[in-house]
Chain A
Amino acid sequence: MVNWEALQTQRQCAEKTWYELENSPIPIIYIGAASCGRAAGALETLDAAQKVLDNAQVDAKIIQVGCIGPCYLEPLLDIRMPGQPRVSYAKVTPARAEKIIQSVVVEGSGSLRGAIAHFGPQEFSQEIPRFFDLPMLKSQKRVVLKNCGMIDPERFDHYLASGGYRGLEHAMSMKPEEVIETVGLAGLRGRGGGGFPTAKKWEVCRNSPGELKYLICNLDEGDPGAFMNRSLVEGDPHAVLEGMLIAAYAIGATRGYIYIRAEYPLAVERLRKALNQLREYGLLGTDILGTGFNFDIKVKEGAGAYVCGEETALIASIEGRRGSPTTRPPFPAVSGLHGRPTVINNAETLATLPHILANGVDWYRQFGKPGNYGTKIFSLVGKVRHSGLIEVPLGTPLRTIIEEIGGGTPRPFKAIQTGGPSGGCLSAQFLDLPMDYESLAEVGSIMGSGGLIVMDENTCVVDLAHYFLTFAQNESCGKCTPCRLGTYQLLNLLKRIKSGEGEPSDLNLLQSLALTVQKTALCGLGQNIPNPVLTTLRYFWGDYETHVRDRYCSAAICTDLFSFEIDPVKCTGCGRCLAACPVGAITGSRRQPHSLNVNLCIQCRQCYELCTFEAIRVLPAVQPMPEIS
């Protein structure tokens, strides 16, 4: 019989194991091996480190941890020598790993050379800062991401030792209605995009008649440029599961589903492992911890359809049908999966619950501001110096996120896209805008699930709108006419503008069609996909005008609307562009200014990006000279 007392004993054991790990007599090596770390080569780094340890026959422990946030520093390798704090090394290639492990672990040099930060007390080192004092991490508030990168995500006892399942314990000592009230007082709003108050959704579901109720965790993170949920699950799967148990207890659900993208194999694997651990410890199944509460969770892998992030389409997909949305009402909380009351919560929303329940409402309300309490995870990518996964209190100004946390842009800032394909593109005038649900809605964008894509002057907003529309057009399920045909026509108009055939009157047509789609589409996908078009028109009208009037793309993206030329004064004849040109359009001898043949040039931008002397100029398109035979 597993019960609360047994869990307490388990926790004491886990705390002891954790203490032993923190004070381990042998060196510990941590490697950030989430999917993004692996793409940067973390597993090769791990192999190299292991090889050095094997050769030297040194006893050390390697732990694969999740993503700690600063993706631009990956692969990240941390070493904790006995009696010392954990020390971080960045961009550790296999060759560097060999050197570092040899010097620090095998020879015990005690040197901090090449390290970027440490996790110890301030006085530990004058040379390197504390990890959480690094510019990228200083302005962050890690609540939901607290464990990511710190614990072994595949170990139940690591999660338990870090205070895991205390939130569930608190929740189950209360009545379900009291749990709902607590979450309502904390002011938690859905983190998947809409920002609907979580407690309200729960209340409707709890009060709907019926024995059988479902809880679905939405992990179908389809927004291109967003990876918050993936990193969260890969780094701390139990946080999401604990949140699911709390939510299920509150609404009275007995069956749960996790709907996750099949494109996230590592996250699926870690969830499955964590679910097995829960069953083993009696936290899942019938009569959980002897309290009479029954709840079980199934993992459902999505099959690649963006629209399935929408609640009703997601339900259709779980039911084994094509993922087409249906009209609401009835809302899923009243009639959802198989016609039963169903709550669908985003993974981040669920992972916030344990913290609210364990630490209380007042603690949670210290973050953010009235109406927008708590923290939000964003994936900060694009043309910023420090890209990665960040967590900040709601209401943090964009400027703090881009300049302090992101370290600014290498070239002048042009725009930021919030909320993925359903969001809006904001110009520099909005840098002081606080990131909260209402402020973003006011300027025509949305919070969305939290993807932030920063763009510099090398980005063409017409191309960006075209890109999002192509995506939307591919992903439109085809059920309602405004979305199916509206996006098609919008895309055609943008194609014309991009290829230099646009007329000034097209811009007004584009705007009115986008507004029509926004007002008439059936589901959230269709209603929001005109946002990128509308916001780029609103804030970058001038860019559209140069495309249709001057037939010129100054960002050098729309290939029909510009051409390259080499500035003979600035060109030093270094030959880098000549070697890189895939079509042999550049000629010239060494140390002499080169020249570029526009008839051969395919505008692949390679020379433009390589040139460090700004000798490649962007000009309006030149008509190719006819061939003379």
Chain B
Amino acid sequence: MEIITARDRVETKELEEEIIPSLQKIQAQYGYISKESIQTMAAELRIPVSRIYGVALFYAQFRLTPPARYILRVCKGTACHVGGSPIVAHAIERKLGIRVGETTPDGLFELQQVACLGCCAQSPVLQVNDHIYGQVSVSALDDILKLYV
């Protein structure tokens, strides 16, 4: 029988620390967390699938379905809310014919609302994939979306 020392226990625990970074790596590479990737991870880290699944569901960053080509993130931070981001979100909903959380049928755009992006002085802010647009007005939306069609 193996004798587990206090030091070993700390090391096992430090292995569990890798759950979130591993999920982040998977998502960075594949765009989402697939069922298979959770199973592989569980086997490699020797952690139950349920633990990993529970973590993946808890954090807003992780998604379990494949993403659209362009993800439109309308900031809903306080400054953006006061600065009119709900109006921007509604305008996008009207223009693309989808609601927040949905993807256009062609798989091109997905609309999300996210907590603060930290560019509050530029409110309202719209992020398209990694690019951030500041002081977005409803009239400027067409010009922005045109870049991605």
Interface size class of B (residues with CB under 8 A): 35 or more
Q: Which of B24, B94, B120 makes the CB contact (< 8 A) with A262?
A: B24
B68 at the binding interface (Cβ < 8 Å): no
A488 CB to closest chain B CB (Å) equals: 18
* CA of A604 to CA of B76, assembled, Å: 17
Residues of A within 8 A of B83 (CB): 382
A215 CB to closest chain B CB (Å) equals: 16
Cross-chain contact B78 with A305 (CB below 8 angstroms): no
Residues of A within 8 A of B13 (CB): 319, 338
Cross-chain contact B61 with A304 (CB below 8 angstroms): yes
A168 at the binding interface (Cβ < 8 Å): no
Cross-chain contact B117 with A225 (CB below 8 angstroms): no
Cross-chain contact A320 with B55 (CB below 8 angstroms): yes
Interface size class of A (residues with CB under 8 A): 35 or more
Q: Which of B80, B81, B90, B119 makes the CB contact (< 8 A) with A604?
A: B90
Cross-chain contact B79 with A39 (CB below 8 angstroms): no
Cross-chain contact A39 with B119 (CB below 8 angstroms): yes
Cross-chain contact B58 with A305 (CB below 8 angstroms): yes
Q: Which of A41, A319, A320, A453 is packed against the most chain B CB atoms within 10 Å?
A: A320
Known: A303-B59, A303-B61, A305-B60. A320 touches B17 (CB 8 A): yes
Q: Which residue of A lies closest to B132 (CB)?
A: A39
Known: A39-B133, A224-B115, A303-B59. A388 touches B82 (CB 8 A): no
* CA of A405 to CA of B17, assembled, Å: 44
Known: A303-B23, A319-B13, A604-B91. A225 touches B79 (CB 8 A): yes
Cross-chain contact B76 with A224 (CB below 8 angstroms): yes
Cross-chain contact A39 with B125 (CB below 8 angstroms): yes
Q: Which of A222, A262, A420, A580 makes the CB contact (< 8 A) with B139?
A: A580
Known: A225-B77, A303-B61, A453-B82. A388 touches B121 (CB 8 A): yes
Known: A320-B17, A582-B91. A40 touches B59 (CB 8 A): no
B36 CB to closest chain A CB (Å) equals: 20
Cross-chain contact B118 with A263 (CB below 8 angstroms): yes
Residues of B within 8 A of A258 (CB): none
Q: Which residue of B lies closest to A605 (CB)?
A: B87
A417 at the binding interface (Cβ < 8 Å): yes
Residues of B within 8 A of A300 (CB): 17, 20-21
| A:155-183 near B, CB below 8 Å | none
Residues of B within 8 A of A262 (CB): 24, 61
Cross-chain contact A71 with B121 (CB below 8 angstroms): yes
| A:267-300 near B, CB below 8 Å | 300
Cross-chain contact A382 with B134 (CB below 8 angstroms): no
Cross-chain contact B24 with A453 (CB below 8 angstroms): no
Cross-chain contact B116 with A226 (CB below 8 angstroms): yes
Known: A303-B24, A580-B139, A582-B138. A320 touches B16 (CB 8 A): yes
Known: A453-B82, A606-B138. A304 touches B59 (CB 8 A): yes
* CA of A41 to CA of B119, assembled, Å: 12
B61 CB to closest chain A CB (Å) equals: 4
* CA of A379 to CA of B121, assembled, Å: 9
Residues of B within 8 A of A540 (CB): none
Q: Which 4 A-B pairs have the closest CB atoms?
A: A71-B121, A304-B60, A303-B59, A224-B77
* 21 pairs of residues in contact across A and B, judged by CB atoms under 8 Å: A221-B118, A224-B80, A225-B120, A227-B116, A264-B118, A306-B115, A320-B18, A322-B54, A322-B58, A323-B58, A323-B59, A379-B120, A381-B123, A382-B79, A387-B120, A387-B121, A421-B78, A453-B82, A455-B82, A471-B115, A582-B94
Interfacial residues, chain B to chain A (CB-CB below 8 A) = 10, 13-14, 16-21, 23-24, 51, 54-55, 58-62, 76-84, 87, 90-91, 94, 114-123, 125, 130, 132-135, 138-139
